[in-house]
Structure 1
Amino acid sequence: MAHSLNDLPSIEQLLDHVAMQLKQSLEQSNQALQAPCVIGLHTAGVWVAKALQQRLGFQECWSLNPDYYRDDFQQRGLGKNTLPSNLPASIEGQHIILVDDVIFTGRTVRAAMNELFDYGRPASIQLLVLLDRGGRQLPICANMIGATLCLTAQQHIKLKDHNQQLVWEMQTKDD
C-alpha cells in the first residue's frame, strides 16, 4: 500500500518494520548464524544501518560513499562534507545488506554496487530502504522496504539528523 505524507508511519515504526523483515530474511536463508555485512550508504543510510545494528545486535556496520562511482559525477562533483567509504578489506563471498533511507531512481544503488565489486565478489547483495518513492530509471528494486510513498517528480524527501533525532525533510524543486 502506498502512503501519502499525511499517513506515513513514524521513522521508529519504519525501522522496526525493516528490522523484522531483515531478521526474517536472514532466518529463512539460514544466514542468521553468520554475521551479515551491513553497509549503510552515506549519509542517511549509515544512520539507518546503525539503528538496525542496535535493534538486531550486528557486531559491525560499515559505510559506503558511492559519489565517485555515480554516472553523473562530472555534473554533481563531491559534496562539501564528503566522507570516505569504510568497508572491510574484502567482501569476497559475504552476504551484503546494503542500507539506504530512500530509493528513487536507482542510480545511487547502482553506483554503490559498482564500488562494492572493487572490494570482491559478494555471495549476495540485498537492498533495504526505509522508503521507496518510485520513479526508477534503472531496473533496481529493494528487497526490504519500510513503506512506499507517492511523491511527484518535483517532491524530494530525505532523512535528516536533527539534534540526534531522525526526521524527514521534504523539499519541492522547480523544473
Structure 2
Amino acid sequence: MSVSVAGTAGSLVLDAEALYRELLRGVRSLMGANTQLAGVASGGAWLVERLHKDLGLPGTPGVLSSALHRDDFAQRGMASSAQTQLGFDVNGADILVLDDVLYTGRTVRAVLNELYDYGRPGCVRLAVLVDRGGRELPVAAEFAAARVALPASQSLALARTDGGTFQFEVKEA
C-alpha cells in the first residue's frame, strides 16, 4: 500500500486522490465477471460513481442508504442523503459495497440490512478508502486503500470538489 499519509503536530493529512488510485487498483483485483458495485451514500456513492466510469462498466452503479436502518435514528433523524437505488437484481448477485471511511461498522450493518430488503445476495464484500479502526461491530473490509488511527474526538469525511476531485476533512467532534 503506497499512499501519501503525513502527520504533523497532531494533525493528519491524507491525499484522497492518491488513495482513490489505490482503491481503483484494489477494486480491479476484486472484480469478477458479474460483480455489481454499490456505494454507501454519500462518500461511497461518490466513489462508486467514479469507479464505475474509470472501470468502463455498463449501466449505473448502485447506491445504498443507511438512513432507515441506523441504530441512532432517534438522534439523527432522516438524513438528507440519497435514497437506495439498485439497477440490478440483488438475488444471487456478487456485490462489492464501497464506502469512504470505515469506523465503528454501524453504517455497514445498516446498509447490509437495507441491501437484504431488496433480496438475498450470493456474496457481499466491502472495500473502503480509509479504515480508521475503532470497530464496535465485527465488520472488516476486504480491501482498504489506507489504515489510519484517529482519536475518537476527530471525524474523517470525504469531500468532493465541484471539479469531482476528492479531499478529506478532519474535524474535531
Give the match for residue 61 of structure 1: 61
Q: Does 1:154 align with 2:159?
A: no
Structure 1 equivalent of residue 70 of structure 2? 70
Q: For 1:150 and 1:77, how far apart are their aligned partners in 2?
A: 29
Report the Cα distance in structure 2 between the residues aligned to 1:5 and 1:149, rounded to whole angstroms.
Answer: 10
Q: Quote the Cα distance in structure 1 between the aligned partners of 2:121 and 2:86.
A: 13
Q: Normalising to structure 1: TM-score of the pair?
A: 0.87
Aligned to 1:18: 23
Deviates more, 1:53-62 or 1:64-73: 53-62
1:29-82 Cα offsets, whole Å, 9 max, x none, are: xx2x32x21111111111111121122112221111111101111121112x23
Q: Which amino acid aligns with 2:116?
A: F
Shift of 1:120: 0.8
Q: Which structure shows the higher helix fraction?
A: 1
Separation of aligned partners in 2, 1:169 and 1:13: 15
Alignment partners' CA distance in 2, 1:47 and 1:89: 18
Bigger mean CA offset, 5-14 vs 89-98: 5-14
SS in 2 for 1:134: coil
- Give the structure 2 partner of residue 145 of structure 1: 144
Deviations for 1:115-168, whole angstroms, at most 9, x for unmatched residues? Answer: 111111101011010000010000001011010111001011100123233211
Gaps (5+ residues) in structure 2? none
Cα offset for 1:8?
Answer: 5.5
How far 1:20 sits from its partner (Å)?
1.4
**Structure 2 equivalent of residue 99 of structure 1:** 98
Superposition pairs of residues 111-122 of structure 1, within 5 angstroms: 111-122=110-121
Q: Is the 8 A contact 1:89 1:119 kept in 2?
A: no
Return structure 1 stretches of 4+ with deviation > 6 angstroms. Answer: none
Q: Secondary structure at the match of 1:170?
A: strand
Partners of 1:40 and 1:47 within 8 A in 2: yes
Structure 1 counterpart SS, 2:140: coil
CA gap of 1:95–1:87, structure 2 versus 1, over 3 A, is: same
SS where residue 47 of structure 1 aligns? helix
Shift of 1:88: 3.2
5+ residue gaps in structure 1? none
1:89 to partner: Cα distance: 6.0
Q: 1:89 to 1:16 in 2, by over 3 A?
A: closer
